[in-house]
Structure 1
Amino acid sequence: MNALLPRSIKVVTLGVAGDHSLRTDAPLPVGACAAIGSFDGVHVGHQHVIESAIAVARRKGVASAVICFDPHPQTFFHRDGKPFRLMTLSQQLRAFEAMGVDYAFVLSFDTHLSALTAEDFARLILRDYIKLSHVSAGFDFQFGKRGGGHAKDLVAFGEQLGFTTDILPCQTDTEGHKLSSSAVREALLAGDAKLATEILGRPQAYLGEVIHGAKQGRTIDFPTLNLTLGDYQRPRYGIYITQTALPDGRVINGVSNIGVRPTVGGDIELLETYLFDFSEEIYGQVVETALLDFIRPEAKFASFDEMKLEIQNDAAKARAWFQKM
Structure 2
Amino acid sequence: MTAEAIARLQGSDPLPPGLSGGVVAIGNFDGVHRGHQAVLGTAADIARRDGLPLICLTFEPHPRTVFRPDQPVPRLTPAPMRARLLEALGFDAVVEQAFDKSFATIEPEAFVSEILVDRLRARHVVAGFDFHYGRRRAGTPETLSAAGDKHGFETTLVPALGGEDGEIVSSSRIRTMLEAGDVAAAAEYLGYRWTIGGSVQEGQKLGRTLGYPTANLLLMPDTILRFGIYAVRLRRGDGSLHDGVASFGRRPTFDNGAALFETFLFDFSEGLYGEPVTVSLFGFLRGEEKFDSAEALIAQMDRDSAETRDILAGVSPISALDRRVAF
Asked whether the two chains share a fold, i.e. TM above 0.5, the reply is: yes
2:3 aligns with 5
Conserved? CA contact 2:15–2:119, under 8 Å: no
Q: CA deviation digits over 1:36-61, x for unaligned, max 9?
A: 01111111111110121122223333
2:234 aligns with 244
2:323 aligns with none
Aligned-pair CA distance for 1:69: 1.8
Cα separation, 1, equivalents of 2:90 and 2:109? 30
Is 1:226 the counterpart of 2:251 in the alignment?
A: no
Conserved? CA contact 1:83–1:234, under 8 Å: no
Conserved? CA contact 1:54–1:65, under 8 Å: no
Q: CA deviation digits over 1:212-270, x for unaligned, max 9?
A: 21211112111111111115632111111000111111111001111111111323111
Q: CA deviation digits over 1:190-223, x for unaligned, max 9?
A: 1111111111111111101111212111121111
Aligned positions of 1:91-110 closer than 5 A? 91-110=81-100
Is 1:278 the counterpart of 2:268 in the alignment?
A: yes
Aligned-pair CA distance for 1:123: 2.0
Q: CA deviation digits over 1:264-294, x for unaligned, max 9?
A: 1323111111111111111111111111000
Aligned positions of 1:179-258 closer than 5 A? 179-230=169-220, 233-258=223-248
Cα separation, 2, equivalents of 1:79 and 1:208? 24
Conserved? CA contact 2:29–2:36, under 8 Å: yes
Q: CA deviation digits over 1:125-178, x for unaligned, max 9?
A: 112221112111112323212433333332233233332211111101333242
Is 1:65 the counterpart of 2:55 in the alignment?
A: yes
| Distance verdict in 2 for CA 1:66–1:241, change over 3 Å | same
| Distance verdict in 2 for CA 1:82–1:303, change over 3 Å | farther
1:14 aligns with 11
Any idea what SS the aligned residue of 2:268 has?
A: coil
Any idea what SS the aligned residue of 2:74 has?
A: coil
Conserved? CA contact 2:64–2:72, under 8 Å: no
Cα separation, 2, equivalents of 1:229 and 1:176? 32
Is 1:141 the counterpart of 2:139 in the alignment?
A: no
2:122 aligns with 132
| Distance verdict in 2 for CA 1:29–1:250, change over 3 Å | closer
Query: Larger deviation: 247-256 or 65-74?
Result: 65-74
Query: Larger deviation: 156-165 or 74-83?
Result: 74-83
2:321 aligns with none
Query: Larger deviation: 143-152 or 255-264?
Result: 143-152
Is 1:45 the counterpart of 2:35 in the alignment?
A: yes
Cα separation, 2, equivalents of 1:198 and 1:227? 25
Conserved? CA contact 2:180–2:225, under 8 Å: yes
Conserved? CA contact 1:5–1:90, under 8 Å: no
2:324 aligns with none
TM-score (norm 2): 0.89
AA aligned to 1:257 is S
AA aligned to 1:305 is E
Of 286, 290, 301 in structure 2, the residue corresponding to residue 296 of structure 1 is 286
TM-score (norm 1): 0.89
AA aligned to 1:6 is E
2:322 aligns with none
| Distance verdict in 2 for CA 1:24–1:74, change over 3 Å | farther
Cα separation, 2, equivalents of 1:132 and 1:276? 48
Of 162, 170, 173 in structure 1, the residue corresponding to residue 160 of structure 2 is 170
Cα separation, 2, equivalents of 1:83 and 1:211? 25
Aligned-pair CA distance for 1:307: 1.5
Cα separation, 2, equivalents of 1:180 and 1:172? 9
Any idea what SS the aligned residue of 1:119 has?
A: helix
| Distance verdict in 2 for CA 1:219–1:189, change over 3 Å | same
Aligned-residue identity in percent: 37
Cα separation, 2, equivalents of 1:56 and 1:237? 42
Conserved? CA contact 1:14–1:108, under 8 Å: yes
Consecutive unaligned residues in structure 2, runs of 5 or more: 316-327
Conserved? CA contact 1:87–1:232, under 8 Å: no
* Count, aligned residues: 315
Cα separation, 1, equivalents of 2:262 and 2:300? 15
AA aligned to 1:210 is V
Consecutive unaligned residues in structure 1, runs of 5 or more: 16-22
